[in-house]
Amino acid sequence: MTVVERREIALVDLLDRLLAGGVVITGDVTLRIADVDLVRIDLNALISSVNENVPSPWPEAE
C-alpha cells in the first residue's frame, strides 16, 4: 500500500466520517416550520440504530 493508491472507499468508512465528523451547523432554530433556513438532521440516530446490537469492545482511549 502506498500513499497514492486509492481503492473504492468502503461505505462504512465514509459514513464514519460523514455522519460523525464534519462541522455541525446548528442555530438556535433548526427544523422549525416557519422561517426554516436550515435543515439539519441528526444522522447519528440512524447509524447508532444500525449499530446498537454490537457492543463496543473498545470503549475508551486512555
Partner 1 sequence: MTALRYVYAVCRPLTAPLQAELRGVAGAPARQLEHHGLIAVVSQVPDSDFSEEALRTRLEDMDWLTATARAHQNVIDALTGVTTPLPLRMATVFRDDSAVRVMMEKREDAFRHALDRLDGRVEWGVKIFMENADGEGGGDGGEGTGARTGSAAPKAMSGRDYLRQRRMRTTAREEQWRQVEEFARRLHKSLSAQAEDSRLHAPQNPQLSGAAGRNVLNAAYLVPRARSEEFVTLVDRTKDDTPGIRVELTGPWAAYSFTGLAEESAGEPT
34 binds partner 1 (CB under 8 A): no
**Site membership for partner 1, residue 3 (CB under 8 A):** yes
Cα-flanking dihedrals φ and ψ of residue 41, to 5°?
Answer: -115, 140
| Rounded least distance, CB 49 to partner 1, Å | 9
The phi and psi torsions of 8 (rounded to 5 degrees) equal -60, 130
**Minimal distance, residue 2 CB to partner 1, in Å:** 7
How would you class 31 by CB atoms within 10 Å of its CB: exposed for 0-12, middle for 13-18, buried for 19 or more? exposed
Which positions lie near partner 1, rule CB under 8 A? 1-3, 9-28, 31, 36-41, 43, 46, 50-51, 53-54, 56-58, 61-62
